Amino acid sequence: MPTESELDAITLDQLRAVPSEKWSTYPDAIGAFVAEMDFGTAPAVRRALHDAVDTGQLGYLSGPPVARMQEAYTGFAKRRFGWSVDPERVRPVPDVLAAFEATVRHLTPEGSPVVLPTPAYMPFAPFLHDLGREVIPVPFARDGGRSVHDLDAVDAAFARGAGLLVLVNPHNPTGRVFERAELEALSAVVARHGGRVFADEIHAPLVYAGHAHVPYASVSPTTAAHTVTATSASKAWNVPGLKAAQLVLTDDDAAETWQRRCTWTEHLAATPGVLAHAAAYDAGEDWLADVLAYLDGSRRLVADHLAAHLPEVGHTPPEGTYLAWLDLRRYALDRPTAWLREHAGVALADGRHCGAAGDGFVRLTLATPRPVLREILDRVTTALTTERRGA
């Protein structure tokens, strides 16, 4: 399992030597924009992939790998979240966005708008526009430093005819891990309008001590009946290129419709990916525990650094995910990410792509060796304190 010093020892040269979106898109900058970790993956996942190659399991997706994934995921959900799920209701999909597309197309009233709490994971809004759906953005309200759902605004959006709410938990980009009571309150609003929830729980395994992931569909029979849950091993075990994810159908009607209209989506999942996900859920938790402990230290490093050197940057440490959401509005930068790429040599994700509520914010992926993270923080600090002084 990776030790802290092993993760610390990974160098920028090593990272740049492996072709990846994170390290090749901006060759002159340190890449911290895409949600990928710089720590490889768990030994169990690597073994499963080698085994898939060695035994020739490279064909179209078939029953046995799906059954392995279903058993592995239900075991993991029970152990980790206390959530009992019927294995048959765990469906393979190639990725969360494919599950989202199928959900919008087939499990919401035709043409109905979609409620999107913002700031939101970047692709949701353009994706919905491509599907011809109106997006009703609902900016998060603030409770102290925390982002919380604006229930009145969600209520108003459903009253306008929305059919679906996108609930991302743990939340990208804010890092919130919503509490049971918050989910209950949200579910009362959804249920009042007969709406449905797409629960994107891709970051569910990445939650820090002091917080607990509560699967939305597990909250009550009501939430189970109006939710489709999408999850994946891709963030926690760092394998988004393997094209596998899981859709959990706790609603009988949705399961029936899925069976009738959406099984083509299942065939887009990759056999080695499905086997790797099974291995991650079955035998990857020790690796994950070490990585989470490291990430916990890294999120503290970010918070401590900002408090000490950049107190004008608004920041609430993430409760889950390995994303730091930084409020740079005080610096009045026209295009913060472009400015930081030019002046700090650091490539971050642009909050503006998360909706108007993200304007003036940037998202930093902190799942990188701590020496690299320190370099990122130092560069950003130097740029903001020297180049922006008096601005």
Ligand X SMILES: Cc1ncc(COP(=O)(O)O)c(C=O)c1O
Give min distance, CB of 268 to ligand X, in A: 11
Distance separating alpha carbons of residues 183 and 177, to the nearest angstrom: 10
User: Which residue is it, tokens 């075991």?
Assistant: 75
Length of the chain: 391
66, 274 Cβ separation under 8 angstroms: yes
95 vs 383, beta carbon nearer ligand X: 95
Tell me the residue number closest to ligand X, measured at CB: 95
35 vs 85, beta carbon nearer ligand X: 35
120 vs 254, beta carbon nearer ligand X: 120
Question: What count of Cα atoms within 13 Å lies in the side-chain half-sphere of residue 261?
Answer: 15
Torsion over CA: 298, 304, 309, 314 (sign): positive
By the rule CB under 6 A, 276 interacts with ligand X: no
Give min distance, CB of 221 to ligand X, in A: 26
**Type and span of the H or E element at 146:** strand 146-148
Distance separating alpha carbons of residues 191 and 226, to the nearest angstrom: 8
Residue 61: partners with Cβ closer than 8 Å, 6 or more residues away: 92, 266, 267, 269, 270, 271, 274
Sites for ligand X among residues 209-238 (CB under 6 A) = 232, 234
Specify the DSSP class assigned to residue 37. Answer: -
Amino acid at 16: R
97 vs 191, beta carbon nearer ligand X: 97
Span interacting with ligand X, options 91-99, 293-301, 333-341, 374-382, rule CB under 6 A: 91-99
Span interacting with ligand X, options 94-102, 109-117, 180-188, 351-359, rule CB under 6 A: 94-102
Site string for ligand X, 153-192 (x = CB under 6 A): ---------------x---x--------------------
193 vs 363, beta carbon nearer ligand X: 363
Give min distance, CB of 94 to ligand X, in A: 8
By the rule CB under 6 A, 202 interacts with ligand X: yes
Among 52, 69, 96, 166, interactor with ligand X by CB under 6 A:
96
Beta strands in 212-283 (DSSP E): 227-231, 245-249
Span interacting with ligand X, options 95-103, 111-119, 151-159, 186-194, rule CB under 6 A: 95-103
3-class SS of residue 245: strand
Q: What are phi and psi of 250, to 5 degrees?
A: -90, -5
Q: Give the footprint of ligand X on this chain (CB under 6 A).
A: 35, 95-97, 121, 168, 172, 200, 202, 232, 234, 240, 245
